[in-house]
Chains A and B, each alone.
Chain A
């Protein structure tokens, strides 16, 4: 069953009076529970595709179904609700709130949740997530008091606090050394394996890409390979 279905999506920017086609008719899908790596040449449109998939942006044309809902035509407010409900983001630069404790950073998305848990429940969930990412004894630390890997783990806990169906990570290990990268990657794999979380991550590292179920290769706004999940045996369309 597809969580993401993209059909002929175009993204065109107008720069200096000329149309710049960044996505040139992308079609792809991602099944629930997949761990997909998105890779390709720099400037190929990976981040643009991720933003579109994350409902941060809307395609110029084409359709995008997330969880069987066509979200390609939603207004900013509805897209925000969709992001809060279904998508968790992990960014390359961690993007934590400065001078805010790890715990409060994890709690932050709950402020905007449509079905907000009680403060006690929210706190319990955030603490559990921080324990899960191995930061049980760092909850009251500020981002400036954490290492890069620890900050990225806080970011992962934050992305999970709303129980999203989809985790999008744009170069999550880009700012980390190789050892820490492996730890973070293991975390994604564990979350995928244990919770069935669908993970889509952008990476330039072939070794990282090799650990994924599937690799989507992008070049010049088009997907060169791996756009569709293989048919599962016994599943009818």
Chain B
């Protein structure tokens, strides 16, 4: 087809002659394509960021939470009844083969004091050293809990970077003592920094201690001193009688050696707040979830017509929810950008119609000297397509610029996307054809005599 090149040149010439108008005409496409590119890059970036921070929460983790209590149809929400015991955790390790590590967790929230400074950590977890394997977390300085410490009430703890910085500044926290609710804990290790999680919570703001220490020494007291500020205001922290916990009546009676000898039956169940399970292979998660569910129903003697008294959540669920949210957002933004592309296309069509009317005489002349209707059609179609493609190219640059600005000034994460660029080029060419066709067709249908006479 030898027709294309000269018509193409005519179209380019016409565009160049009205450079400012051409530029303004295609502005809608520039903005539309720029918005699409920027949105896709930012959307991909945030999706990746979400996925990665979910990963850092601990991949392949199952979280077993106590079930919700309900009374007379009123539900109290997840975790409102204690049902999980450390025995459950041990049973999961024993029975579920795909569970590579299991850690019971007891939570507390109270003030931590070291030297002259105090701090309320985001997380105070009573657990075992398995917690570190579950969360894929390493000790940077010092050591993890020794096996003997895991199941005793040793006054030791591991701290996250934030705690180390807040309480000890630049000095090494190792072998320092911090008081958690008046229980002195010796720092035996500092955890590797993990940063903020998906939801912006600082994961390094954490104190880990053996779970019995938290359960019986720290929480045992915090029941009475739940309101730290009131307690502090009352000067209770200075009272030497509260410094050591055993003088206070504990709601959870501790077994003495004599008692243990006298009552060999299992002790009263002590409850934990959650059990974290790490599954070796992501593919085993559904199977493991089922196994744990069966195991726990059996251990809790749940009748078959009763609902579970626990919940099992996996982080995949969490991550898919977060990713879905990110995806929804970027989908919406993309839809808005696509609408602006359509608006840009309508702008092109409008100007092309004006241009056809304005150049009626020229069209008549071209027809008189031998231009066939399809030559005229091509000429105007090529004009519209070139306008759109040029707009698309500039729009891609603008989109990259926008993504760069967001990355540099807002520190958002962006991901370059080749498919987005290809789609942008395709869409702008499509817009050119779709919205350029009608004006071009109109031009090609002009009667040469009428067109020549047109004033």
Contacts and interface: CB of A to CB of B under 8 A. Distances in A.
B43 interface: no
Interface in B365-381: 365-375
- Give the secondary structure class of A's interface: helix
Contacts of B448: 56-57
A208 interface: no
B365 A116 contact: no
B373 A111 contact: no
B17 A80 contact: no
Nearest to A162: B370
B6 interface: yes
B373 to A, nearest CB: 6
B366 A112 contact: yes
Contacts of A56: 367-368, 448-449, 452
Contact of B372 (A81, A89, A95): A81
Contacts of A80: 367, 370-373, 375
B361 A83 contact: no
Nearest to A98: B362
A108 B373 contact: no
A113 B370 contact: yes
Contacts of B7: 111
Contacts of B17: 99
Nearest to A77: B372
Interface string A43-56: 00000000100101
Interface string B1-40: 0100011011000000100000000000000000000000
B10 A111 contact: yes
Interface in B357-400: 361-362, 365-375
Q: Most B CB atoms within 10 A — which of A76, A97, A112, A116?
A: A112
Given A77-B374, A116-B6, A83 B369 contact: yes
A112 B362 contact: no
Interface residues of B, number: 22
A83 B370 contact: yes
A204 interface: no
Contacts of A99: 17
Given A111-B10, A112-B375, A84 B370 contact: yes
A57 B9 CA distance: 28
A31 to B, nearest CB: 24
A83 B362 CA distance: 16
Interface string A153-168: 0000010001000000
Contacts of B367: 56, 80, 83
Interface residues of A, number: 25
Interface in A63-120: 76-77, 80-81, 83-85, 89, 91, 95, 97, 99, 108-113, 116
B366 to A, nearest CB: 7
B369 to A, nearest CB: 4
A84 B3 CA distance: 14
A116 B10 contact: no
A44 B365 CA distance: 24
Contacts of B452: 56, 91, 95
A112 B370 contact: yes
A89 B370 contact: no
Contacts of B449: 51, 56-57
Contact of B370 (A57, A95, A109): A109
A109 B372 contact: no
A14 to B, nearest CB: 15
Nearest to A85: B370
A158 B369 CA distance: 9
A95 B361 contact: yes
A108 B375 CA distance: 13
Given A56-B448, A56-B449, A84 B369 contact: yes
Contacts of B366: 108, 111-112
A97 B372 contact: no
Interface string B424-455: 00000000000000000000000011001000
Interface string A174-209: 000000000000000000000000000000000000
B109 to A, nearest CB: 78
Given A56-B449, A97-B362, A112 B374 contact: no
A89 B369 contact: yes
A76 B2 CA distance: 20
B368 A111 contact: no
Interface of A: 51, 54, 56-57, 76-77, 80-81, 83-85, 89, 91, 95, 97, 99, 108-113, 116, 158, 162
Interface of B: 2, 6-7, 9-10, 17, 361-362, 365-375, 448-449, 452
14 contacts: A51-B449, A56-B448, A57-B449, A77-B373, A80-B375, A83-B369, A84-B370, A85-B370, A91-B452, A97-B365, A111-B9, A112-B366, A112-B372, A158-B369
Given A56-B452, A109-B370, 12 more contacts: A80-B367, A80-B372, A80-B375, A85-B370, A89-B368, A95-B361, A95-B365, A97-B362, A111-B10, A113-B370, A116-B2, A162-B369
Please provide the 4 A-B residue pairs with the shortest distance between their CB atoms, ordered closest to farther. A84-B370, A109-B369, A111-B6, A112-B370
